[in-house]
Amino acid sequence: MPGWLCAGAAVGLVAVLVGLWHGGNTPAQLWGRGGGGAGTALREGHGRSASMGQKKPFERLPQDVNPTNYALRLQPDLEKFTFTGREVISVQVQKATDKVVMNSVDITIATATYRPENDTKDLATSEIQFNKENETVTLHFPSALPTGAGELTLEFEGELNDKMKGFYRSKYTSPDGQDRFCAVTQFEATDARRAFPCWDEPARKATFDVTLVVPKDRVALSNMNVVEEKPVPSRDDLTELRYARTPVMSTYLLAFVVGEYDYVEGRDTDGVLVRVYTPVGKKEQGKFALEVAVKTLPFYKEYFKIPYPLPKIDLIAIADFAAGAMENWGLVTYRETALLIDPENSSSHAKQWVALVVGHELAHQWFGNLVTMEWWTHLWLNEGFASWIEYLCVDFCLPEYDIWTQFVSTDYTGALKLDALKNSHPIEVPVGHPDEVDEIFDTISYSKGASVIRMLHDFIGDEDFRKGMNLYLTKFMYKNTFTEDLWASLGQASGKPVDKIMSTWTKQMGFPVLEVSATQEGTSRVLKIKQSKFCAEGPSEDDSSLWMVPVSISTSQSPATAVKTLLLDQRETTVTIDNVKPDDWVKLNPGTVGFYRTQYSSDMLDRLLPAIKDQSLPPRDRLGIQNDLFALAKSGVASTVDILRVMEAFVNESNYTVWSDLAANIASLSTLLSGTDCYPNFKLFVQDLFKVVGEKLGWDPKDGEGHLDAMLRSIVLSHLGKYGHQATITEATKRLEEHISGTRTLHADLRGPVYATVLRHGDEQTYEQLLDLLRKADLHEEKVRILRSLGSVSQPQLIQRVLDFALSSEVRSQDTVFVIGGATSSLKGRELAWKFVQDRWDELHTRYQGGFLLARLVQFSTSGFVEESRAREVEEFFRQHPAPAAERTVQQSCENIRLNAAWLARDAGNISNYLKTRASL
């Protein structure tokens, strides 16, 4: 799955809101995959998280009985919200036993019998025993089951729950305005057991023969194509659909959907049938995702040199979906905002997000589904790899997006930010009890995982990387693997010590900072490079960490191509670069590919800064230098005033992604300074920074403009509006009035910035106007865009109304957390949102208990404070109200609060003086 959209990291909260302003849709980094936003894990949905303090005792299911095939028949009742089921499981009894232990949650088993192969007599259970804590059921038999093949038959029933996990119900509105329900599934990580008793572990693979009994007037989908349809005796309103047998696969990848849908379809170049299912009457909104999917399948076939192994693939939009998407084999489920694009009303950002999520989920059809991690410890392999290759795919399908530059801002820098905390974790974390899985569905697994794979791909080269991927997938298809299996295949293909290198990146927490200084010797530049662990709180005296760091070096004579590469496998080294003039600059990490920060000596940095201003440095390098300097300033190694001066060197910047990263860091400064006397001068500083590019872009697209220009305009207007640029506020107000009156429709790329700007500077009437727009909106993207803008209001009574509205019946549970998060875009909003979360905690905890949305809620409502007293307050609250699913997030938030407090105490005076002097000029 994608994570935003998968589960949670505590990265700069206000930066999340920056992303929302871009166009109302969630960027990758906000939802599940890192970056300047809320963490990336939200993109896909996952299991539950255990308390970090006390690991639950856990044993995996016994190996004495193993499934080989499930013949599963389910009949959902969309009125009573229940389902009945019958399964005949073909098993191999490896060792004679009188009990069978399986996973089962909220399932009532009526009967269970066993029949050995070549026997005609069923053996009924003597007792059926449930263990709620371990989510298991034990079937006791009066005598031992003989070794060999047999069939286990169970009849059962369960609930179509409203928890967005397992086999659940989702509410939608029909074209005639009626409330209806569909039945859908979300099984990753450990919720197949809510739909049928099974061996719900990724390594217990089997084939599945699915039969669904459903109303005749409903669409019913599963992983495979329908092979038989027949009437149900005595029930004219029902039909029985039998689907082809699946490949051997894990339980978490099984899926079924029953509801009302339209679809658009196409075939890829190999004839694979691709369908995108949409709400009734909205199939036009599926065309963009279809175009991407039809290009993507052949791309992956060519990259992996393995054809897509199923006859069809369906992509379907689900109205209620906790995550962003889920890679079920042959039936990929999505939030509506991650799949549907309205040609007239979707923003450029929304299109890009859909392309990335489609690329991510289809990559899993090979990497994750065909070859699956052996246990959740190796989850990062699935998610980190898919989070890397989705960019490779989008770069192929839509090169005009310049998506690899965006990767640096959305994934790479967010992972660096989180991984510098004491409360980070290694990429590869031992997982015992499945309750612990959600702790690692976060920015580290997704974005750091993607970043180190990008670094490895660059180090060994694309040709050897492809060979290694083919070796890996071919050797382990339909099987399960460990991280070391991938390293072995890539090492075999490249002849390089991949396992030795990568273990330093996956098994230890954090990353290095490379301190570099230079001396000129004739026509050569001699660099001294030293590595140490980078810590958000500043240099650590006790540092035993050491990485094997692929280092590349560029010069002003070769800005885009490395002139020297090396593997730094010791504490420090000396490197000589030939043919460098005294005034030339030398830079580490061209393309910002290596997962480390660089701390230059002052003379090296002085040579680089003019190349930022005249843009002779490539965009990824301009972005990387600024981001490293900002992190060094925040950790106390550099001066924050210096980073403000560096930011001013970007006044003529033209690249969207560079501005996006600057915006995320400005958001962090805004959070830091919003309660200080210098905040008005800081707002003037931001206005001055964005005015030049704002005047150049204007409000309306110009001939020849592209995708990135539209996204840049959105982010620039957002910031001019937020920080009080009067001309922007006036124009935004005028354009919203025209939009509401129908005089002139507001372009989709402008709606997020305009809504937020007008709400921030408006009154109760403005708020009511936006509520009216929300209620009239038909496109879910537009509803989400408005919902996430509502918190921009500035009056305390309106902020409180937004918070109360978040828990009303007008807001879907999947969106409530982000409405509350939107209210934290101001100092007063942060105070009120945190109080609201405390006051309504019981209700919120009950709603989101055991899911990653709870961690998002904690992150949004706590991580933006800057006072030590708030950190203690947050810790005390969660001591009294334990939230195991969010425990790591609580620790990360409190660490961020204390880092902010130290930063403010250290630099507030100098920042204030600089801004005051600057404002007086």
Instruction: Tell me the three-class secondary structure of 784-845, residue by residue.
Output: HHHHCCHHHCCCHHHHHHHHHHHCCCCCCHHHHHHHHHHHHHCHHHHHHHHHHHHHCHHHHH
CATH number for the domain whose boundaries are 366-509: 1.10.390.10
Which of 307, 354, 161, 329 shows the shortest CA–CA distance to 256? 329
Q: Within 13 A of 41's CA, how many CA atoms are on the CB side?
A: 34
pLDDT (tens digit per residue) in 343-375: 999 999 999 999 999 999 999 999 999 999 999
Per-residue pLDDT, averaged over 563-592, amounts to 96
d(CA 78, CA 258): 9
Contact between residue 223 and residue 331 where contact means Cβ atoms under 8 Å apart: yes
Neighbours of 122 (CB within 10 A): 13
Helix (H, G, I), strand (E, B) or coil at 375: coil
Contact between residue 154 and residue 111 where contact means Cβ atoms under 8 Å apart: yes
DSSP code at position 213 = E
In CATH terms, is domain 65-259 a member of 2.60.40.1730?
A: yes
830 Cβ contact list (under 8 Å, min separation 6): 824, 861, 864, 865
Which of 188, 155, 316, 169 shows the shortest CA–CA distance to 254? 188
How much is the pLDDT for 314? 98
49 Cβ contact list (under 8 Å, min separation 6): 7, 435, 436, 437, 438, 439, 850, 852, 855, 884, 885, 886, 887, 888
pTM for the structure as a whole? 0.91
Give CATH 1.10.390.10 domain extents, the chain.
366-509
How much is the pLDDT for 842? 95
- Report residue 29's pLDDT band, with 50, 70 and 90 as the boundaries: very low
How much is the pLDDT for 378? 87
Tokens standing for residue 734:
């005028």
Q: Within 13 A of 732's CA, how many CA atoms are on the CB side?
A: 29
d(CA 577, CA 571): 20
- Report residue 25's pLDDT band, with 50, 70 and 90 as the boundaries: very low
Catalytic residues: 361
d(CA 197, CA 85): 10
The answer to whether residue 302 scores a pLDDT higher than 90 is yes
**If 0-12 CB within 10 Å is exposed, 13-18 middle and 19+ buried, where does residue 688 land?**
middle
Tokens standing for residue 583:
């005034």
d(CA 513, CA 571): 11
Tokens standing for residue 123:
């053996």
- CB burial of 315-339 (b: ≥16 within 10 Å; e: otherwise) equals bbbbbbbbbbbbbbbbbbbbbbbbb
Helix (H, G, I), strand (E, B) or coil at 513: strand
- Written as one string, the DSSP assignment of 239-294 is EEEEEPPPPSB-GGG--EEEE--EEEEEE-TT--EEEEEESTT-GGGGHHHHHHHH
* 599 φ, ψ (degrees, to nearest 5): -115, 105
Which of 187, 157, 178, 182 shows the shortest CA–CA distance to 170? 182
pLDDT (tens digit per residue) in 580-598: 999 999 999 999 999 999 9
pLDDT (tens digit per residue) in 142-196: 999 999 999 999 999 999 999 889 999 999 988 888 889 999 999 998 999 999 9
Q: In the sheet where 512-521 sits, what is the strand order?
A: 572-577, 524-533, 512-521, 597-600
pLDDT (tens digit per residue) in 68-98: 999 999 999 999 999 999 999 999 999 999 9
To the nearest 10°, report the CA torsion of 704, 707, 710, 712.
-110
Residue reference for tokens 């040199």: 305
Give CATH 2.60.40.1730 domain extents, the chain.
65-259
Is 364 annotated to bind ligand?
A: yes
How much is the pLDDT for 42? 39
Is 881 annotated to bind ligand?
A: no
Is 383 annotated to bind ligand?
A: yes
Per-residue pLDDT, averaged over 389-418, amounts to 95
C-alpha angle with apex 789: 884 to 850, nearest 5 degrees? 15
